[in-house]
C-alpha cells in the first residue's frame, strides 16, 4: 500500500484537466476514423492537435520502459486482432474494421489516459457485440470503485461479465496508477476474486482498461516489440477511463463533450434518487 500514491487536491485538479484533454483528442479524431485513412494519418492528426491546439505532450512518443525500444508514435492504433500498442503506420482502414485509439497526453506534468473503440463503416454483429460487452465490462469495473472496496472487486465483475458472454480476458496487460508518472502502482487487474488485493482509498487515481478477446486469451508479441495480437487471430476490444477514488465513490476524469455515455444500467446504479417534492 505504501507505494500507491494518494493525490493532493492540487494533483486532482491537474488530473481533471489532463483527463479532459485526452478525451477531447478522441472527440477531435472521431470524424476522421473512416475507410481509406491510414493509421499513420490518424497519428499525425492527433499529434498536431495535441501540440498545436491543446499545448499538450503526447506521452507515448519515445516512451521507453525497461526492456523496450522507444515507442515511435504519439498514439496507439490497435486494429481488429491487435489487443494493444499497435504502432500507427501505412495500414489503411477498410469498411468493417474495428480500431482502438489509445490517447495519453501530458499537461503541466499530469497524465490523462483514455481509449475508445471505433467502427469503420458498418461493423459485423460479432464485432459490435464484443465492443459493447467490453464497454459494459469497463463500466461495471468502475462502478465498484469506492473507499474500502478492493481492486479484486473490479477484476471480478469484469471477468464475470466477459466470460458469461463467451469472451476471454487478457491477463498480461492491466490498468495502472497514474499521475505525474505515466504508469505507477497499483496494477489494476481485469480478473480476480472479490475482497482481494489492495483496499481503495480516497485520492487514488488509476485506469480501468479491460482488453477482451472474442476467442482465447492467449497473446502474441509482434517483432516490433510493441504490437500485441491475439494468438488465435480473433478480434479484441478495449475501452479505458482514468478514475479518481472519491470520499463516497468515484469520479471519471477522462470526460468530454462527445464521450459515449455510460450504459443505462450503470447510470441507474450510480444516480441518486430524485428528492420527493411532497416530502
- Asked whether residue 47 is marked as a ligand-binding residue, the answer is no
Q: Exposed (0-12), middle (13-18) or buried (19+): which is 42, by Cβ within 10 Å?
A: buried
- Asked whether residue 232 is marked as a ligand-binding residue, the answer is no
Grid coordinates given for 158: 469484469
Q: Are 184 and 5 in contact (CB under 8 A)?
A: yes
Measured between alpha carbons, how far is 99 from 82 in angstroms, rounded to an integer?
9
**186: preceding bond cis by omega (within 30 degrees):** yes
Measured between alpha carbons, how far is 15 from 2 in angstroms, rounded to an integer?
21
- Asked whether residue 102 is marked as a ligand-binding residue, the answer is yes
Q: DSSP character for 152?
A: H
- Asked whether residue 163 is marked as a ligand-binding residue, the answer is no
Q: 5, 1, 2, 3: which is closest to 205 by C-alpha?
A: 5
Please tell me the number of Cα atoms within 13 Å of 16 on its side-chain side: 11
- Asked whether residue 221 is marked as a ligand-binding residue, the answer is no
- Asked whether residue 190 is marked as a ligand-binding residue, the answer is no
- Asked whether residue 90 is marked as a ligand-binding residue, the answer is no
Q: DSSP character for 128?
A: H
| Composition of the chain by helix, strand, coil, percent to 5 | 30, 25, 45
Q: Report the binding-site residues for a divalent metal cation.
A: 102, 113, 176, 209, 240
Q: Report the binding-site residues.
A: 85, 102, 113, 176, 183, 209, 240
Q: Report the binding-site residues for substrate.
A: 85, 183
Amino acid at each position: 500500500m505504501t507505494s500507491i500514491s494518494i493525490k493532493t487536491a492540487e494533483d486532482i485538479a491537474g488530473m481533471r484537466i489532463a483527463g479532459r484533454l485526452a478525451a477531447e483528442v478522441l472527440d477531435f479524431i472521431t470524424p476522421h476514423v473512416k475507410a481509406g485513412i491510414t493509421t499513420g494519418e490518424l497519428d499525425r492528426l492527433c499529434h498536431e492537435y495535441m501540440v498545436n491546439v491543446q499545448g499538450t505532450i503526447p506521452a507515448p512518443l519515445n516512451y521507453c520502459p525497461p526492456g523496450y525500444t522507444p515507442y515511435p508514435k504519439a498514439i496507439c492504433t490497435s486494429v481488429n486482432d491487435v489487443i494493444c500498442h499497435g504502432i500507427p503506420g501505412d495500414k489503411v482502414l477498410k469498411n468493417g474494421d474495428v480500431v482502438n485509439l489509445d490517447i495519453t497526453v501530458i499537461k503541466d506534468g499530469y497524465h490523462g489516459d483514455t481509449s475508445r473503440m471505433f467502427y469503420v463503416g458498418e461493423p459485423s454483429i460479432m464485432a459490435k457485440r464484443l465492443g459493447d460487452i467490453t464497454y459494459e465490462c469497463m463500466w461495471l469495473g468502475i462502478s465498484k470503485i469506492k473507499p474500502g472496496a478492493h481492486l479484486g472487486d473490479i477484476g471480478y465483475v469484469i471477468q464475470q461479465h466477459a466470460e458469461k458472454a463467451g469472451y476471454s480476458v487478457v491477463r498480461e496487460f492491466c490498468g495502472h496508477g497514474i499521475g505525474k508518472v505515466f504508469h505507477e502502482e497499483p496494477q489494476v487487474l481485469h480478473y480476480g476474486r472479490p475482497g482481494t488485493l489492495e483496499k481503495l482509498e480516497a485520492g487514488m487515481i488509476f485506469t480501468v482498461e479491460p482488453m477482451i478477446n472474442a476467442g482465447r486469451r492467449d497473446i502474441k508479441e509482434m517483432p516490433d516489440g510493441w504490437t500485441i495480437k491475439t494468438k488465435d487471430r480473433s478480434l479484441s476490444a478495449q475501452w479505458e477511463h482514468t478514475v479518481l477514488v472519491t470520499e463516497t465513490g468515484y469520479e471519471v476524469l477522462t470526460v468530454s463533450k462527445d464521450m459515449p455515455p455510460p450504459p443505462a444500467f450503470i447510470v441507474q446504479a450510480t444516480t441518486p434518487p430524485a428528492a420527493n417534492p411532497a416530502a
